[in-house]
Structure 1
Amino acid sequence: MKRLWEIDALRGLMLVLMTVTHLPTRLTDPLGQPFGFVSAAEGFVLLSAFVSGLVYSRIGYSQGVEPMRRAFWKRALKVYLSQAATLLFLFFVITAVSLRIDQEAVKNLVSYYLAQPHRGFIYSLLLIYEPALLDILPMYIFFMLLSPWVMAFGLRHGWLGVMAMSTALWVLAQLGLSEWIYAFTVHWTGLPVPFQEMGAFNTFGWQFLWFTGLWLGASRNAPDARPLRFPSWLVSLAAVVALYGLVWRHFGAHGQAPFGGDVELNLLFDKWQLGPLRLLDLAALGVLAVRFGPAIIERLPRFRWLEAMGSASLPVFCAHLVAVLTVLAFYGDSQTARPWWGDALLLLAVFGWLYAVAWAMLRWDRRKPAVNAAARQPSAMSRVQKPAAPDAKR
Structure 2
Amino acid sequence: MTATFSSVTQAFATDRSGGHTAVSDERAGTGRAVAGTGATPAPASRPHTRDHRVDALRGLALLMMFVDHMPQNLLNRLTLRNLGFADAAEIFVLLAGYASWLAYGRGFPKNGAKTTFIRIAKRCCRLYLAQTLMLIVCVVTIRTWRNYSPVPVDFLEPELAHGFSDFWRVLVLDALPSNLNILPLYMVLLGAFPLIYLLIRANRFLALALSMALWALININPNINFPNWLDPDGWYFDPLAWQFLFVLGAGAAVEAGRHNGDLPAFPWLRIACGLYLTFSLVEAFPWTQWGLPVIAPLALPSPDKSTLAPLRLLDVMAIFYLVQSSSLARRFSETRLGQALALCGRHSLEVFTVGTILDLFGRLIFTTFGDAWPFQIVINVSGLAILYGVTVIYERKRVRVKAAAAA
TM-score interval, normalised by the smaller of the two chains: 0.7 to 0.9
Q: 1:86 to 1:108 in 2, by over 3 A?
A: closer
Q: Summarize deviations over 1:319-370 as a string: whole Å, max 9, x none.
A: 0011011222333299xx2322321121111011111211112222223345
| C-alpha RMSD of matched pairs (Å) | 3.1
Q: TM-score scaled by structure 2?
A: 0.77
> Does 1:147 pair with 2:180?
no
Distance 2:225 2:59 in 1: 35
Distance 1:329 1:282 in 2: 31
Distance 2:154 2:165 in 1: 16
Which structure's CA Rg is the greater one? 1
- Give the corresponding residue for 2:76: 28
Residue segments in structure 2 that go unaligned for 5+ positions in a row: 1-16, 23-50
Residue type of the partner of 2:178?
A: A
- Give the corresponding residue for 1:312: 347
- Give the corresponding residue for 2:385: 352
- Percentage of pairs with the same residue: 25
Distance 1:87 1:286 in 2: 31
Q: TM-score scaled by structure 1?
A: 0.80
> Does 1:272 pair with 2:301?
no
Q: 1:339 to 1:99 in 2, by over 3 A?
A: closer
Q: 1:320 to 1:258 in 2, by over 3 A?
A: farther
Q: Is the contact made by 2:84 and 2:284 (CA closer than 8 Å) also made in structure 1?
A: yes
Q: Displacement, 1:163? A: 1.4
SS at match of 2:285: helix
Q: Which deviates more, 131-140 or 10-19?
A: 10-19
Match of 1:207 among 238, 243, 250: 243
Q: 1:89 to 1:259 in 2, by over 3 A?
A: farther
Q: 1:258 to 1:90 in 2, by over 3 A?
A: farther
- Give the corresponding residue for 1:383: none
Distance 1:260 1:227 in 2: 35
Q: Which deviates more, 315-324 or 360-369?
A: 360-369
- Give the corresponding residue for 2:170: 124
Residue segments in structure 1 that go unaligned for 5+ positions in a row: 186-190, 375-394
Match of 2:135 among 75, 82, 87: 87
Residue type of the partner of 1:143?
A: L
Distance 1:51 1:88 in 2: 28
Match of 2:182 among 124, 136, 147: 136
> Does 1:17 pair with 2:32?
no
Q: 1:231 to 1:181 in 2, by over 3 A?
A: closer
Q: 1:245 to 1:314 in 2, by over 3 A?
A: same
Distance 1:90 1:132 in 2: 11
- Give the corresponding residue for 1:168: 213
Q: Displacement, 1:270? A: 2.0
Match of 1:236 among 252, 256, 271: 271
SS at match of 1:272: coil
Distance 1:346 1:20 in 2: 10
Q: 1:296 to 1:123 in 2, by over 3 A?
A: same
> Does 1:302 pair with 2:336?
yes
- Give the corresponding residue for 1:5: 52
Q: Displacement, 1:210? A: 0.7
- Give the corresponding residue for 1:387: none
- Give the corresponding residue for 2:400: 367
Number of residue pairs aligned between Structure 1 and Structure 2: 354
SS at match of 2:75: coil
Q: 1:248 to 1:220 in 2, by over 3 A?
A: closer
Q: Displacement, 1:297? A: 3.5
Distance 1:146 1:105 in 2: 37
Q: Displacement, 1:75? A: 1.0
> Does 1:216 pair with 2:252?
yes
Distance 2:279 2:357 in 1: 36
SS at match of 1:67: helix
SS at match of 1:117: coil
Q: Displacement, 1:79? A: 0.8
> Does 1:343 pair with 2:351?
no
Q: Displacement, 1:372? A: 5.6
Q: Is the contact made by 2:241 and 2:307 (CA closer than 8 Å) also made in structure 1?
A: yes
Q: 1:333 to 1:29 in 2, by over 3 A?
A: farther
